[in-house]
Structure 1
Amino acid sequence: MSNASHKLCMIPGPVECDGDVLASMATQATSHVAPNFIECFGETIELLRQAFFAPTGQPFVVAGSGTLTWDMTAANLVEPGDHVLVIVSGIFGDWFGECIEVYGGKVTFLKAPFGSRVSDDELRAALDRAPVPYKLVTLTHVDTSTGVLTDVEAFAKIIREKSPSTLIAVDGVCSVGAEVLKQEEWGIDVVLTASQKALGVPPGLGVLVASRRAIDVALHRKAPPSTYFASFKKWLPIMQKYEARQPSYFATPPVQLIMSLHISLKQLLNAPGGMLARFEKHAEASNRIKDLVESWGLKLVAHNRQIAANTLTAVYLPEGVTVPALLSKMGSHNVVIAGGLHPEHAQKYFRIGHMNISVVDDGKLGHLKSTLEALKQSFKECGYTLPQ
């Protein structure tokens, strides 16, 4: 497909990718045990520790979507009958809980109303009510269905104080690489994500970093892991071998995708100001978009700006405008955005993703400006008169 026919992809993932990241995939057939790939994969594992702020964590990079990392978390850390608290700020929290139930976990859901998030006091009360300490608590850092941001640092502190034996897992699919998330400093046992969002790589990689405590739990569980492909026991020696620059094999890694992740991570970490500057740019872009849509008389799905994510903006439609009509008009202006995702509210709102090069290189690329101009024009074409 030529660039002339490409519509700007401004959904909450997959996101637009840097040209060098894409070019790194255009290689001849390469063995997964070729010396150049072993070096690439080994360094990628090391770079992930920096990106996740987890200097002693164990990265796993596996072929699959972010959903696979739910399975990896549940299948390795939860044994049949274990009690798990799942904190829900959107449909992805519900689905994470469903995944844990498949592996025999006894799940308690702590849910916030649509567009809101659980309070600190509600979390404390849930931990106090537990008949036994929870084996695991899961948090969704940014729920892509609502655009709600969870205060992971505060929640992790509460969990560690009230239930120090409890493992903490954070779904960072729509946050890692764009929202502040310091895994080791905050005491998070598992952070999971996927390649196609703020890490800026095409879809196809599940990425997970586990603490030493999580690895120990997985390796010394009473029941055998109820998974084969997603087993920490299977993948741990593979990751260790590649990091030691030695060939290894369990299942064929997606060579070209790992090459592109390697390039993207170097860009993320070596850019001026590093990851902290990247977080700030995403916050600035988010405020720019949210300020404008609110000035148009539109309402954010997130109940207030303090709980709104920096990686996407979820917005209620004005009266008289439908999701299909708005998306069609946007497409006619060569910009793709997303409709609502939450099953109970999907036709009431739309979502704009703003991650990766569309944010950090916006001065050169103009993605945000193009998106906002297309959105303004599309609303007019849908019959909604913007406030002057």
Structure 2
Amino acid sequence: MLMTPGPTAVPEPVRDAMSRELINPDVDPAFDAVYADLVDRLERVYGVGDDGVTASRDIAVLGGEGILGLETTIASLVEPGTEVLCLSNGLYGDGFADFVESYGGEATLVSAGYDEPLPIDDFDAALDGDHAFDLATMVHCETPTGTLNDLDPVLDHLAAADREILTVVDAVSSLGGVPVPTDRIDLCLGASQKCFSAPPGLATAAISDRAWAAMEARAPDSLYTNFLPWRDTSEGFPYTHLTTNVVALDEALSLLLDEGLDTVYARHEAAGDHCRERGAELGLDPYPDPERSSPTVTAFHVPGRAADLQRALREDHDVTVATGLADLADDILRIGHMGHSARVDRVDEAMDALAAVLDG
């Protein structure tokens, strides 16, 4: 049983969709209709559109794993001299600063410990400094530590600063499982293999007019790490799209929307709460504190034991979970309850197995 925080278990209807006859996206107009349906469903999940009621954002779906969206954002918006404020309390927040510097930008990293909340006071101090920031980056759900960040205070402070700072949010591990304030975000990133429960291979983005304008002024010269060719695909796609992945994600989103977003969010909340309750019964401490733990993934602090526990779960109980990453690789055990796996019965099966391993 797959209980990792991405890739997640892919339900049977999605697997069936992948087995359909291949559509050639370069020559068959049928693919245009499939892509249009996918964009429409993503608009509903992001909570954006062009209906005059919801926030207006354009959707782009790139062929590549979720990290492609993060790099493409920076490649599309950053050039030598671009100043970027990177707010972080985790590995992917730090990673934004690395991307900025790799494209010649000037990153100001405002960071906190990985078990701490976002450093709002330090963020304010950076905003009030001498920098002329062009954009600010942040992460909604830091998957490596199971942290869900409250973005509203950050977005409030950016709005109060009354400056034209573009907002960039990595919502890869929250979109589709937790409400995301996309209407307040200029470029909001998602991916197929997390809460959507489709296979890895597609990066999604909801992009504001302000972000498009900044990209056009920047005129990035890359093809693959460039959002601009995706703004209008009416006359073709920048490159051969990943047809089977597109069909799979379209089916996965159909399942999600048929269930209803509010129901899906409640299901994730219940699964996350139950996972941490079961962990407490086993004497396991969450990382971070429960009030900042994500409904999509639970990280337990198990110093020096994560790899052994992961191996025993996989070999003895056929349950696959994840460890931490980087410096926390052997100190954190992560249970992914996102997408199709965000169900109390699946959490119970995983936690029963973990109880047996701990007793052994």
Deviation at 1:226? 4.2
1:312 aligns with 2:297: yes
Q: Which residue of 2 aligns with 1:199?
A: 196
1:344 aligns with 2:327: yes
Distance in 1 (CA, whole Å) between partners of 2:328 and 2:226 is 36
Query: Percent of counterpart pairs with the same letter?
Result: 28
1:227 aligns with 2:222: yes
Q: Which residue of 1 aligns with 2:13?
A: 20
Q: Secondary structure of 2:173's partner?
A: coil
Deviation at 1:28? 2.1
Q: Superposed, which structure 2 residues align to 1:1-388 within 5 Å?
A: 8-32=1-25, 33-55=27-49, 56-129=56-129, 131-184=130-183, 187-221=184-218, 224-238=219-233, 241=234, 248-271=236-259, 274-302=260-288, 304-317=289-302, 322-331=305-314, 332-341=316-325, 343-359=326-342, 362=343, 366-381=345-360
Distance in 1 (CA, whole Å) between partners of 2:291 and 2:221 is 40
Distance in 2 (CA, whole Å) between partners of 1:165 and 1:47 is 30
1:101-137 CA-to-partner distances (Å, cap 9, x unmatched) read: 11111001111112112243332222112x1331111
Q: Secondary structure of 2:48's partner?
A: coil
Distance in 1 (CA, whole Å) between partners of 2:142 and 2:319 is 23
**Distance verdict in 2 for CA 1:112–1:348, change over 3 Å:** same
Contact 1:91 1:143 in 2 (8 A): yes
Distance in 2 (CA, whole Å) between partners of 1:182 and 1:124 is 20
Q: Secondary structure of 2:128's partner?
A: helix
Distance in 2 (CA, whole Å) between partners of 1:190 and 1:335 is 36
Contact 1:12 1:352 in 2 (8 A): yes
Contact 1:338 1:350 in 2 (8 A): yes
Normalised to the residue count of structure 1, the TM-score between the two structures is 0.87
Q: Which residue of 1 aligns with 2:52?
A: none
Q: Secondary structure of 2:113's partner?
A: coil
Distance in 1 (CA, whole Å) between partners of 2:220 and 2:311 is 46
User: Which deviates the most, 61-70 or 119-128?
Assistant: 119-128
Could you tell me which amino acid in structure 2 is paired with residue 358 of structure 1? S
Contact 2:73 2:226 in 1 (8 A): no
Contact 2:223 2:238 in 1 (8 A): no
Which stretches in structure 2 are left out of the alignment for 5+ residues? 50-55
Q: What's the RMSD between the two structures over aligned residues?
A: 1.6
Which stretches in structure 1 are left out of the alignment for 5+ residues? 1-7, 242-246, 382-388
Distance in 2 (CA, whole Å) between partners of 1:115 and 1:194 is 25
1:169-195 CA-to-partner distances (Å, cap 9, x unmatched) read: 0001111111110311xx100111211
Could you tell me which amino acid in structure 2 is paired with residue 235 of structure 1? W
Deviation at 1:324? 2.7
Contact 1:93 1:139 in 2 (8 A): yes
Distance in 2 (CA, whole Å) between partners of 1:54 and 1:208 is 11
**Distance verdict in 2 for CA 1:226–1:160, change over 3 Å:** farther
Contact 1:74 1:103 in 2 (8 A): yes
Q: Which residue of 2 aligns with 1:4?
A: none
Could you tell me which amino acid in structure 1 is paired with residue 34 of structure 2? C
**Distance verdict in 2 for CA 1:83–1:163, change over 3 Å:** farther
Distance in 2 (CA, whole Å) between partners of 1:144 and 1:371 is 18
Deviation at 1:163? 4.2
Normalised to the residue count of structure 2, the TM-score between the two structures is 0.94
